């Protein structure tokens, strides 16, 4: 069965600090997708990144970076030089991929990130 | 990504009543989904809204409680029927452009409080 674990319920750091959000997943499939979404206080869910199981290259987008390691079934998210606007709940998610259909996404429990000025 | 809107954005309802939530997309999409997010919790898929046929419900969700319509490729509704305080949640619709698109994009959500 699929499962996504975000062990960090809440994290609080001071602005400009770097912070890493952990995500560990379980799946029996060899083909799957991993996602990160951000949910600011307004409530909308903002898509941040998608990785497929065959692409283990780390990715950097501005202050955001993602470290995908299949050996440890982890897909961690790092924010460098955090800002108050980064305060939100962050969800890691997993979907198993069948070639011809968009699949059900399983969400982790989320990590609430608070950036203090 | 698609632009997705939901109506209403929030509502306060009385126990025993029903509320219909609308989800509108600015372009045709093949896949539409409805999720529930209970207070302080993660997201749970309620059902996949299928255009022209009955929705596909996840375990624990039934059509009588959460009837869904999908009359075309840009619009869907979710009704929360015979509401109780336990139905107080954020309800979100999401879309995937086509059946091979793995990324789902979410609407702004509908915050529902049942008294």
Q: Could you tell me which of B73, B55, B52, B72 has the C-alpha nearest to residue B64?
A: B55
pLDDT score, position A101: 47
Q: How long a stretch of residues is chain B? A: 115
B43 has a chain A CB within 8 A of its CB: yes
B38 has a chain A CB within 8 A of its CB: no
The model's pLDDT over A84-115, given as tens digits with 9 standing for 90+, comes to 999 999 999 998 765 444 567 899 999 999 99
Asked whether the beta carbons of A9 and A109 are under 8 A apart, the reply is yes
Q: Is A84 helix (H, G, I), strand (E, B) or coil?
A: helix
Residue B97, sorted as left (phi over 0), alpha (psi -120 to 50) or beta, turns out to be: alpha
The model's pLDDT over A29-71, given as tens digits with 9 standing for 90+, comes to 888 889 999 999 888 899 999 988 888 888 888 999 999 999 9
Share of chain B above pLDDT 70, in %: 96
**Residue numbers of A between 78 and 97 with CB closer than 8 Å to B:** 91, 95, 97
Mean pLDDT of B82-96: 95
What is the Cα–Cα distance from A35 to A55, expressed in whole angstroms? 13
CB-count burial class (<10 Å; 0-12, 13-18, 19+) for B68: buried
Mean pLDDT of A13-23: 97
pLDDT score, position B5: 96
Q: How confident is the model at residue B100 (pLDDT cuts 50, 70, 90)?
A: low
Q: How confident is the model at residue A21 (pLDDT cuts 50, 70, 90)?
A: very high
What is the Cα–Cα distance from A58 to A76, expressed in whole angstroms? 10
Q: Is A28 helix (H, G, I), strand (E, B) or coil?
A: coil
pLDDT at B8 over 60: yes
Question: Which is more confidently placed, A116 or A59?
Answer: A116
Q: Which of A33, A45, A104 is the closest to B106 by Cβ?
A: A45
pLDDT at A80 over 60: yes
CB contact under 8 A, A108 and B42: yes
Residues of A in contact with B42 (CB under 8 A): 91, 107-110
Q: Which of B92, B99, B104 is the closest to A100 by Cβ?
A: B99
CB atoms near residue A41 (< 10 Å): 8
What is the Cα–Cα distance from A71 to A20, expressed in whole angstroms? 19
CB contact under 8 A, A102 and B31: yes
CA distances for A41 relative to A44, A86, A99, angstroms = 8, 11, 35
């Amino acid at each position: 069965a699929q499962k996504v674990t975000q062990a960090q319920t809440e994290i609080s750091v001071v602005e400009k600090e770097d912070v890493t959000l952990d995500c560990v997943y379980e799946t029996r499939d060899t083909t799957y997708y991993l996602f990160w979404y951000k949910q600011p206080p307004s409530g909308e869910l903002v898509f941040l990144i998608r990785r497929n199981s065959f692409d283990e290259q780390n990715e950097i987008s501005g202050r955001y970076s993602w470290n995908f390691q299949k050996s440890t079934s982890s897909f961690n998210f790092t924010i460098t030089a955090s800002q108050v606007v980064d305060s939100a709940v962050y969800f890691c998610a997993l979907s198993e991929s069948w070639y011809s259909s968009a699949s059900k996404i399983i969400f982790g429990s989320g990590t609430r990130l608070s950036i203090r000025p | 990504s698609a632009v997705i809107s939901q109506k209403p954005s929030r509502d306060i309802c009385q126990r025993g009543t029903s509320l219909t939530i609308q989800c509108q997309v600015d372009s045709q999409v093949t896949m539409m989904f409805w999720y529930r997010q209970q207070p302080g919790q993660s997201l749970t898929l309620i059902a996949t809204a299928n255009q022209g046929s009955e929705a596909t419900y996840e375990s624990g969700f039934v059509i009588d409680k959460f009837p869904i319509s999908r009359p075309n490729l840009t619009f869907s509704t979710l009704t929360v029927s015979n509401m109780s305080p336990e139905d107080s949640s954020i309800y979100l619709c999401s879309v995937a452009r086509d059946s091979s698109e793995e990324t789902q994009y979410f609407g702004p959500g509908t915050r529902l409080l049942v008294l």
